[in-house]
Amino acid sequence: MLFVVYSFKKKPNKFSKNDVPPMDEPDAAIEKKPLKKFVFKSDDGFGFAHKENETLHLRHDEIAQKDAVFRNLRDCHLIIEGGALTVHFISLVGCRILCGPVSTSVFIESCQNCKFVIACQQLRTHHTYDTDFYLHVTSRGIIEDSQRLRFAPYNWNYTNIEKHFRFVDLDSQQNHWNLINDFNWLSSAPSPNWKILEESERIAEWE
């Protein structure tokens, strides 16, 4: 069973407007700082771990009604058809993730230089950098302790995807991909930690 700990307590703004580097200039001090404690608790249950330079595929009948954890993947291409209950992505580097509709939440922890294509009810992203999201989310996406994130609308299409939206009871017509709450930015001004991915830079086809 997967156990998830939520924390909605307001924290002090760790990134002041003057301290945050431009989107295209990595902050080496932040990225090299080790993450001593994961925010989202999960076990090492169903999923993949400790893989490099592999293409990994989970079909609907394999993932349906399961909680999944994907941990310590590097330069992998991960294909997950729709039907999962919740999904955790932990310590991924240089990966491309195509994820069909998820019933509840997707949690992303300590990832870097990835591309996530995700459909879910709730997105929680922590300690993640230089990563693009092609997102379908029916609530507001949440980021925390993260920088240089870019967002675009979900655009993966595969056989049976509409059937999988219905299977997980996710509204395919309601998408708040560009409504992102940054828990480190309490100002009414736009957060410097994320932005919209320009249409000219978006990937149009994934397969």
Q: Dig out the tokens for 29 from the structure.
A: 């001090």
* C-alpha neighbours within 13 Å on the C-beta side of residue 49: 10
CB-count burial class (<10 Å; 0-12, 13-18, 19+) for 74: middle
In this structure, are residues 107 and 129 in contact, taking their beta carbons and an 8 Å threshold?
no
Q: Which helix (H) or strand (E) holds 196?
A: strand 194-196
pLDDT of residue 26: 38
pLDDT of residue 46: 84
> Which residue, 77, 78, 146, 156, is CA-closest to 119?
156
pLDDT of residue 186: 83
What backbone phi and psi angles, to 5 degrees, belong to 100? Answer: -70, 180
pLDDT of residue 45: 63
pLDDT of residue 4: 42
pLDDT of residue 188: 82
Q: Which residues of the chain have pLDDT under 50?
A: 1-40, 42
Amino acid identity of residue 55, one-letter, is T
The CATH number of domain 45-199 is 3.40.190.10: no
pLDDT of residue 202: 97
Residues 141 and 53: their CA atoms lie apart, in Å, by 29
Find the radius of gyration of the CA atoms of the chain: 16
Domain ranges of the chain: 45-199
Give the predicted TM-score (pTM) of the model: 0.80
CB atoms within 10 A of CB 77: 16
Beta bridge partners of 147: 129
pLDDT of residue 38: 45
The SS3 call for residue 11 is coil
pLDDT of residue 8: 39
Residues 14 and 5: their CA atoms lie apart, in Å, by 21
